[in-house]
Amino acid sequence: MREKKLVLLADDDIDLVETMKIVLEAEGYEILAAYDTVSAFNKLKSEKPDVMVLDVMFGPSGKTNGLELVSKIRQDSSIAGTPILMITSVNLKLPVFDALPEMDGIKLPSDGTEKAGTDEIFTLDVPAYLPVDGFINKPAQPDELAEKVKALLAQKVSKWAGWKKK
Amino acid sequence: MKMRGQLFENMGAGNEVDERDKWFIDLRWLAILGVPAVVTVAGNFFGEVLPVRQLYLGVLVLAGYNFAFLLYWRKLVSKPREGRAKHKLFSNVQVATDLVMLTYFLHFSGSIENPFVYFFIFHMVIAGILLSNRSAYAHGVLVMLLIGSTALLENLKVLPHYHLSGFPDSEMIYNFKYVFGALSVLGSTLFITIFMSASIVNKLRDREAKLAVANKMLAEQDRLKSQYVLTVSHDLKSSVSTIQSCLKVVLKGMTGPVAPKTAEMLARAEKRSLYMLDFISDLLNLSSIRTDRNLRKTLVSISMIAERTVEQIKHRFTAKNLKFEFLDNLEEAIIYANEDSIERVFINLLENAVRYTPSGGRISLSLSNREGKAETTIKDNGIGISEEDQQNLFNDFYRAENARMIEKDGTGLGLSIVKQILEAHEGKIWFESTLGQGSRFVFSLPVVSGGKEAA
């Protein structure tokens, strides 16, 4: 058992990671950082952090690689239970039809997939179907970040642990 | 995007084929009325020579198979997923059956001597335009085989010839030269007809295909534009929001104690970064409304949006000790709108009212139905707008002079956004204001259903 809780910060914005690190270290957590999807996944597997804070737009600008990573994590049984707090700067309620094709494996409601290609899909409330445990909007406020990480640590296991790719 | 395009393409083709087959059937009813009329008139002219009975029998057969075709067509249409091959075959069968039928009628009315033989041209035009080039030429060959063999067999006296005397005078059918010549002229006329109608249609189809490609390119450009807006929003916003987060952490003392003067300067920077975030959001809102006129709309209750906005902004009324009144005389009027955008309209107008009304003032929000429009009125007894400022109020970046005195930071885009959103919803906005006494903004939106009319 680790003495301190371990939080993985996965964001390609180094400055933001440093800032979040200060906030969370002040809360008494140990911090691990990953600046790209590959190392985020590897650190997740080797270090088994208690919570992961993940950026939606992780990687090249305009790409929503964070969503793909979520799907990959949930399908790997050794880390599928990691609670994930997702950082967003895009409005996920009405987004981003550009993001949807990359949400391969993200479970959409059955009527949504049926009507793919019509307007219906654009009005989906995406967050309700993303297998993550919480959201935090940019700019991340220190108190809010600390509070949400604390809640996920108390939760211990992601509510999406048994999530299967459709 | 791609899937949507394909969907419509398939639908279009399906409808065209459905309509084509139905059109054939409708036209045939006309022929079923026309043929007996011609037979009756001709019967009076030619007397006993014309085998009227066989001709009427032909009309019955025509009506019979047209009815069968109609039933089959209904079956085909009821199963839209049936392949296009079935539709194509059906069209070809219809045309071929008609060719046989016309040959039948001609055989009993003088065959190649009958000028009605040129009615085959109509079939060739239709085949050239509506069927594939190959089928059209095949139907031409079929005509020549049918009428050619009929004429030749009559010429050889294998089949009886029904001569309509005086139409032409002598029985030309037994003159081989005449039969050969008449068939050659008919044949060349038919094939030239097919060729001409098919080439015109090919050109049209070509143009249609090019238009489809152009359309697809436009859709792709549209997508790229949205992608661009998304990328810019991400890049601009993420930098500024990171700056904001950094400053916040320092200000909170998480990196060690901060001297009061330093804290004050950092607080200024933090406030400006927040303002810049608002500004970027406003700019993006405005440009996305302008570039994307196709806001995704649904049926929503305007009262519900109003209530939700009031709930969101209520704390600001109390913070500034403003008296707020909400009067809903609409009772569930439904509008067809983009919910988020209309919420933005309410927020911007209410925020302005809060901002520019001194504490202790009054603000009211009321909804009513006036001649099928939902009218929303936001009234305050704040600082008002000078006549000079009133003219420019809805311009991008414009801020009234007294507004700038009260609040230095402001994008000057709030009312532009409001106006753009309302225009995208066939709505309108207007206002009355007196400097130092207050303002009254009214916007109206078309009501789809519900909503009590104002007394």
Summarize pLDDT for B129-147 with one digit per residue, the tens.
989 999 999 999 999 999 9
Eight-class DSSP state of B361: -
The answer to pTM > 0.90 is: no
Nearest to B327 by CA among B312, B310, B351, B344: B310
Residue in the block written with tokens 């290609």: A117
Q: Which of B318, B367, B317, B316 is nearest to B345 (CA)?
A: B367
* Helix ranges restricted to H, B367-425: 387-390, 401-406, 414-423
Q: Is A117 on the interface with B (CB under 8 A)?
A: yes
Mean pLDDT of chain B: 87
Q: Does A3 touch chain B (CB under 8 A)?
A: no
> What's the average model confidence in pLDDT over A124-146?
79
Q: CB of B62 within 8 A of CB of B32?
A: yes
Query: Given CB atoms, is A13 within the 8 Å cutoff of chain B?
Result: yes
**Residue type at B179 in one-letter notation:** V
Residue B105 near residue B38 (C-beta atoms within 8 A): no
Note whether A27 contacts B: Cβ–Cβ < 8 A: no
Give the pLDDT band of residue B410 (cuts 50, 70, 90).
confident
Task: Please report which confidence band the pLDDT of residue A28 belongs to, taking 50, 70 and 90 as the band edges.
Answer: very high
Chain B residues 136-195 within an 8 A CB cutoff of chain A: none
Asked if residue B345 lies in contact with residue B421, where contact means CB atoms within 8 angstroms, the answer is yes
- For the question of an ipTM over 0.90, the answer is no
**Virtual CA dihedral for A36, B248, A142, A44, nearest 10 degrees?**
10
Tell me the pLDDT tens digit for each residue of B322-356: 999 999 888 778 999 888 889 999 999 999 999 99
Among A61, A123, A140, select the one facing B298 at the smallest CB separation: A123
Residues of chain B in contact with residue A89, where contact means CB-CB under 8 angstroms, are: 233-234, 237-238, 241
pLDDT at A105 over 60: no
B238 at interface of A, judged by CB pairs closer than 8 A: yes
Question: What is the phi/psi pair of residue A116, to 5°?
Answer: -50, 135
Q: What is the pLDDT of residue A2?
A: 78
CB contact under 8 A, B245 and A140: yes
Query: Does residue A96 carry a pLDDT above 50?
Result: no
Chain A CB contacts of B235 under 8 Å are: 61
Please give the C-alpha separations between residue B190 and each of B66, B92, B149, in angstroms, as whole numbers.
25, 17, 16
What confidence tier does B452 reach under pLDDT thresholds 50, 70, 90? low
Question: Which chain A residues are closer than 8 Å to B296 by Cβ?
Answer: 94, 119, 122-123
Name, in order, each residue with C-beta under 8 angstroms of B373's C-beta and a sequence gap of 6 or more. B444, B445, B446, B447
**Burial (CB count <10 Å: 0-12, 13-18, 19+), residue B70:** middle
Q: A15 with B244: CB under 8 angstroms?
A: no
Cα(B200)–Cα(B190) distance, integer angstroms: 16
